[in-house]
Amino acid sequence: MAGELNEGSVPPYYREVYEAIRSKIEERVQVEVFQRLLSRTDLPSGVQGQIAEHVDYTDGFLSKLSLYKALALIALAQQGKQPSPKLLENCIQEFPKPQLGEFKDLQTLRMQPTQESPLTVPQTLGKLLARDTVQVELIPEKKGLFLKHVEYQITSQHFKISVYRRYSDFDVFHELLLQRFAYRMVPALPPKRISADGRDFIEGRRRALGRFINLVARHPFFSEDELVKTFLTFNGSDVQVKMRDACKKMGDEFMTNTMATLAKDYLPADIQAQFSSSRELIRNIHNSFHKLRDRAEKMAERSKENATDLLMFGRELSTLGSDGSPIPSLASSQSTWGILRQSLKGLSVEFALLADKGAQQGRREEDDVVEKLNLFLDLLQSYRDLCERHEKGVLHEHQRALQKYGMMKRQMMSATVQPKEQVSVEQLESRIVQQENAIQTMELRNYFSLFCLHQETQLIFTYLPITSHILGAFVNSQVQGHQEMGAVWNDLQQKLGCLFGVDEMQSPPLTPK
């Protein structure tokens, strides 16, 4: 039969193309090479995607017959026909020859360096952190018609520009990110409403917005996206309109990513098992980092409380030394309290310095340790949110579509058994075809969701070395704090020796041990 694809039914040109582009190691054609071949056809990207959907891949390779099928579909599409397997089955003439440019150039497709699997995310923590650092600073409150609102100055090192944003701009940006990148880790925003302690809330929200925008700006699939560029660089007053327009033009990632229809062919056979084990491991890591953050917060709080206590201790000594009450005559001959009291007054300077050093250590612990822990926790939480979106969103919609399709098929069987009007039967057939197309799209989205989930899992593990950064910041903070406070304590010890004498400083304990 002329429509059958086999070694003998295709034109010699098909075999020549295969020999020109096949792998020298394996008797197959790499998917990357085929994609480069497809791009030479000058067919619209939508048609190229349809052809790719109808071609079978295994482990990133096309078999010889799969390539022949693709070449036939390309040739028919170049004739203006809709590429589909049925078109090949109904072809009664010799399969046409596709237009692929100069034949001598085909071998260069194979000679181009083969890229890594698109499933792999070749990143390191250093590369991610170097993508951008975005500063988020509060600017003075502005009073609107009814309420004050907080505005932030956003400064991107990568784009070398500062813009001004309100929380509502972040809110719209976050909403659009979820629409555009539904299959990626989109960090959550801090709450909108101001709590009772407004100043602390605003500062906490500023920090949270800073973590959010830095995670977004460093994400390898977000950082150069037009939506992110608009948020970080657009200086007009209508930034929300500008972002919505940009998102509307681009659509979601499934519509623009070249791997959307090919994702299935790159997924490992045990993807579900890998997903389950990775998810469980990351859940445990998340729980442990939560506990680490809670402990770090308590230590930073204790450092600040210690600073306050030292300051108050010094003030009480100063108050005691400032007491000008006369010493009773019965004690004046033997007591040195008068001289001692004068000395106490000057000790508040050292205790104020100790308090300042303690407060600095608390801020270092908060800025360098707690903030880094919160950054990683925000990322881990966004991964958990992504897993839930995958299960409750894509998979659930796919199951509902299959159920609806099953119901339609039962209705169709009932209509054939019990004769009905021809129009209603045709309408039902049309709806079934539409539902089949919808199911096919959902299946592709499901595979693409798993593809993205696999990449996002890699990013989590790429971020894990941040643990050493956190530990380093913690140790350095403790070393610096103890050194600085130790120097002041040593000075204070020497001062006390001069004021009260060495013998007084080395007196025996007042209470038994």
- Segment among 24-28, 40-44, 490-494 with least mean pLDDT: 24-28
* Tally: H helices and E strands in the chain: 22, 5
What single-letter DSSP state applies at residue 97?
Answer: P
Specify the pLDDT at position 308: 95
Beta bridge partners of 142: 149
Specify the pLDDT at position 267: 87
Sheet of strand 148-156: strand arrangement:
134-143, 148-156, 161-166
DSSP E strands: which ranges in 32-166?
61-62, 134-143, 148-156, 161-166
The span from the CA of 477 to the CA of 88, in Å, is 71
DSSP per-residue letters across 144-209: -SSSEEEEEEEEETTTTEEEEEEHHHHHHHHHHHHHHTTTS--PPPPPSS--SSHHHHHHHHHHHH
The percentage of the chain sitting over the pLDDT mark of 70, rounded to a whole number, equals 82
| Type of residue at 154 | I
Distance from CA of residue 64 to its chain's centroid? 40
The span from the CA of 471 to the CA of 319, in Å, is 41
pLDDT one-digit tens code per residue, 107-162: 788 765 555 678 889 899 999 999 999 999 998 765 544 446 789 999 999 999 99
Residue with tokens 């792998």: 23
- Which residues are CB-contacts of 473 (< 8 A; sequence separation ≥ 6)? 364, 368, 369, 372
Distance from CA of residue 463 to its chain's centroid? 10
pLDDT one-digit tens code per residue, 267-298: 888 888 889 999 999 999 999 999 999 999 99
Specify the pLDDT at position 54: 86
The answer on pLDDT for 416 being more than 70 is no
What's the rounded mean pLDDT across residues 223-247? 93
The answer on pLDDT for 432 being more than 80 is no
The answer on pLDDT for 461 being more than 90 is yes
C-alpha distances in Å from residue 319, one per residue of 305, 313, 328, 331, 505: 21, 10, 20, 21, 22
Specify the pLDDT at position 417: 47
What single-letter DSSP state applies at residue 431?
Answer: H
- Segment among 32-41, 376-385, 483-492 with least mean pLDDT: 32-41
The span from the CA of 57 to the CA of 61, in Å, is 5
The span from the CA of 52 to the CA of 32, in Å, is 12
The helix, strand and coil proportions of the chain, stated in percent and rounded to the nearest 5, come to 65, 5, 25
- End-to-end, the C-alpha distance of the chain in Å comes to 104
- Segment among 97-106, 125-134, 150-159, 165-174 with least mean pLDDT: 97-106
